[in-house]
Amino acid sequence: MMPQVAQSTNMNPAELMPICRGAVAIAAEIRVRGEQKNKVNIVDISQTGFRMECLTFISDRQVIFLTIPSFQPMEARIVWQTEWMYGCEFARPIYFAVYEHIVKTHPALVVEPPPVTAGMLYGAAASLQWGQPFR
């Protein structure tokens, strides 16, 4: 996965650091101030925010508190929403070491296929013969 890099030169140096987004599978909880906790699935995370699946409706710009197992609650706000998927921004970015620990301890269950190289394509084409089924 290639890190996304800020493009604007008007930003301060901290904002110009690469933003890494890691795919994760985390069963977590969120709480809206004054309401009960809701179970959510965190599907990706960065130092500045996360994307979650939640079956309970939460309005845009709502302040929430995310609790990941073995971590203290982290304040965030809803930035966007589509049906049951929500994009959230942390009130304070998390440290890179914390981000890295979360990604390593809660990896996503998705396996990416290996990149296709020219040699692989040539080898597959060279092994085909007319009249034989492709395997």
Q: What per-residue confidence (pLDDT) applies to 7?
A: 41
Domain 13-127: CATH superfamily, name plus number: predicted glycosyltransferase like domains (2.40.10.220)
pLDDT-above-70 percentage for the chain: 67
Question: Which residue did the predictor score with more confidence, 45 or 17?
Answer: 45
Listed by start position, the domains of the chain span 13-127
DSSP secondary structure of 63-125? EEEEE-TTS--EEEEEEEEETTEEEEEESSPPPHHHHHHHHHHSB-S--PPPPP-HHHHHHHH
Q: What is the pLDDT of residues 18-67, one digit of tens each?
A: 578 899 999 999 999 889 999 999 999 999 999 999 999 998 899 999 99
Q: What per-residue confidence (pLDDT) applies to 20?
A: 84
Q: Is the pLDDT assigned to residue 119 strictly greater than 50?
A: yes
Q: What per-residue confidence (pLDDT) applies to 33?
A: 87
